[in-house]
Amino acid sequence: MSASGTTSTGQVEHMLRQVTPGRYDAYEALLRALAAPSTGQVWMLLWHGQAGAPDARYGKMDVGGYGYAPCVTSAQELSASGWNRGYEVVDGLDVARTLYPDHYGLWLNPHVPGGGVGIPWLDLRRVATGLDRQPAGPLRLSEPAVEIPQFYALLTQNAHRTPALRALRRAWVQPALGAPYLAIGLDVYEASPPAVDSVRSMMTQSISAVPDGLPVSTVAMSDEDDPVAMWMRANTRPFYDREAHGPSPAAGYGYPPVPGRH
């Protein structure tokens, strides 16, 4: 085994040993180790085929109705597992990019006493797209209780002047680590650069009405895999809805015609 392989083994396995129920800081450190190219290698267990072969397929586990691909964290753990089929040594970042679009998680060392640790697909998405870009789960989501009518009034006024925007939703997000914040869900007609710039400008103009010390973030409602957007779609109604206040932008202004409308 190369020196780099030894380093990767030690770091991931060290972080894995720290993870216990409720230790979200240790779990987050494990995700960071997995995401780092120099420390994040895992030994993926192949149910079919050999490493590098076109027909190679990862193993599959079902835990609580959710799918996971099993792996081990070192050659030593591979030997201890008794696995007698093929395996593939891969960077955790590459594994995350492969698994999360199919809503598969990653299960580390399922053979050890206690059953190892499972990383759900939503956390693999964070590994794949950048841990600091998404809040640390599990998330507690609710309707916002904070009273900021001036902000909502200014935001609604500016939204009405931004033709690219269809609707706005909101949620109060409490991450497992870090401060809670207000999330604004942005539902746009299209995602061209001019449309995105106009919505960004709308938020910049509106944020001045937010009280000092209140964090505000935005989320694209078109993101099918974002947990905050998923919760908003399932549990909230828009607090601003252009189509409830008037007709949609007409075709010919950069927007496609709305089916059933002429």
Listed in order, strand segments (DSSP E) in the chain are 41-48, 57-58, 61-63, 66-72, 87-91, 105-108, 117-119, 140-142, 165-174, 181-188, 216-220, 240-241
Q: What is the pLDDT of residue 137?
A: 86
pTM of the model as a whole: 0.80
- Calculate the CA 115 to chain-centre distance: 25
Does domain 140-245 bear CATH number 3.30.70? yes
Tokens 């009273």, residue?
147
Q: Quick one: CA dihedral 173, 175, 179, 184, positive or negative?
A: negative
pLDDT in tens, the chain (262 residues): 233 333 444 688 889 999 998 899 999 999 999 999 877 899 999 998 888 888 889 999 999 999 999 999 999 999 999 999 999 999 999 999 999 999 999 999 999 999 999 999 999 999 999 998 889 989 999 999 999 999 999 999 999 999 999 999 999 999 999 999 999 999 999 989 999 999 999 999 999 999 999 999 999 999 999 999 999 999 999 999 998 865 444 333 333 343 443 3
For residue 205, which amino acid is it?
A: Q
Within the chain, which residue ranges are assigned CATH 3.30.70? Answer: 140-245
Tokens 């949620």, residue?
171
Q: What share of the chain is helix, strand, coil (3-state, %, to 5)?
A: 40, 25, 40
Q: What is the pLDDT of residue 98?
A: 95
Task: Tell me whether residue 236 is exposed, middle or buried, using C-beta atoms within 10 angstroms of its C-beta: 0 to 12, 13 to 18, 19 or more.
Answer: middle
> Which tens digit of pLDDT belongs to each residue from 181-240?
999 999 999 989 999 999 999 999 999 999 999 999 999 999 999 999 999 999 999 999
CA distance 42 to 59: 14
Q: What is the pLDDT of residue 130?
A: 92
CA distance 191 to 176: 31
